[in-house]
Amino acid sequence: MAAKPKLYYFNGRGRMESVRWLLAAAGVEYEEVFLETAEELQNLIKDGELLYHQVPMVEIDGMKMVQTRAILRYIAAKYNLYGKDLKEQLLIDMYVEGMRDLYDIIMLLPFALPEDQEKNLSIVAEKATQRFFPVYEKVLKDGKNYLVGNQLSWADVHLLELILMAEECKSDILLAFPKLQEFKSRVSKLPRIQKFLQPGSQRKPPMDDACLEALQKIFTSPKGLLLKHSSMSLAYF
């Protein structure tokens, strides 16, 4: 029997959360190794485990994989969540890459200075409703249940994750998007997804102050610095 995938990261969302979602959608059980100190991260680096000295890292099929998008593409392809041909894979990549642009903005919100929080939430709402969600609403208006093809793909899983994150920022953010509301309801009821959404699953809650403090012990980056230097911080979180 093949060993369970092993996920190396801190005990929080960050870049690894999309990996957790995709494995859950594929019905794959996995183990997690939570980093708690800067020394533990440095030990992985010294042992040559981290190709670019960064996490997340996923150990699967005898490989220790880094770079989030590479990890996600491998998992999607391995578990039939990456379309049936090159055209469908291209569409999935296009949709996912668009989602990542909004995802990255939301992911950095906890690192913002308190005085910038309201402004940043407004930016999220504007970009979500004016640029990104209209794209997926239009795709789903064609009577489709899924973004690409006729079965669940990586793009659908990531879209649901993104919708739920956006709703944490603004609860009625889907008000003008009836097809996305239907999509959210439908995909959330898929048995594997529904299980992942239940309390006690390996899904991580929104980042709070305690999680930020734990993060600083590993990455030693003061609050506020990450948002000001987002191109650097996104590589780590």
Neighbours of 114 (CB within 10 A): 8
What pLDDT is recorded for position 221? Answer: 53
Dump strand ranges (E) for the chain.
6-9, 31-34, 57-60, 63-66
Dihedral over alpha carbons 175, 119, 134, 149 (to 10 degrees)? -100
Mean pLDDT of the chain: 89
- Model confidence at 1, pLDDT cuts 50, 70, 90, reads low
- Model confidence at 233, pLDDT cuts 50, 70, 90, reads very low
**Digit-coded pLDDT (tens) for 19-51:** 999 999 999 999 999 999 999 999 999 988 888
Q: Which CATH class is domain 86-190?
A: mainly alpha
Burial per residue of 69-104, b for 16 or more beta-carbon CB atoms within 10 angstroms, e otherwise: eebbbbbbeeeebbbeeeebbebbbebbebbbebbe
Could you tell me where in the chain the CATH 3.40.30.10 domains are found? Answer: 6-79+198-233
What pLDDT is recorded for position 117? Answer: 85
- Model confidence at 230, pLDDT cuts 50, 70, 90, reads very low
What pLDDT is recorded for position 190? Answer: 97
Q: Quick one: tokens of 92?
A: 């999935």
**Digit-coded pLDDT (tens) for 128-176:** 999 999 999 999 997 789 999 889 999 999 999 999 999 999 999 999 9
pTM recorded for the entire structure: 0.90
What pLDDT is recorded for position 228? Answer: 41
What pLDDT is recorded for position 234? Answer: 35
What pLDDT is recorded for position 231? Answer: 35
What pLDDT is recorded for position 199? Answer: 93
**Digit-coded pLDDT (tens) for 64-115:** 999 999 999 999 999 999 999 999 999 999 999 999 989 998 988 888 888 8
Question: Which CATH superfamily, name and number, covers 6-79+198-233?
Answer: Glutaredoxin (3.40.30.10)
Distance, CA of 146 to CA of 141 (rounded, Å) = 11
**Digit-coded pLDDT (tens) for 176-221:** 999 999 999 999 999 999 999 999 999 999 988 888 888 888 886 5
What pLDDT is recorded for position 76? Answer: 98
Could you tell me where in the chain the CATH 1.20.1050.10 domains are found? Answer: 86-190
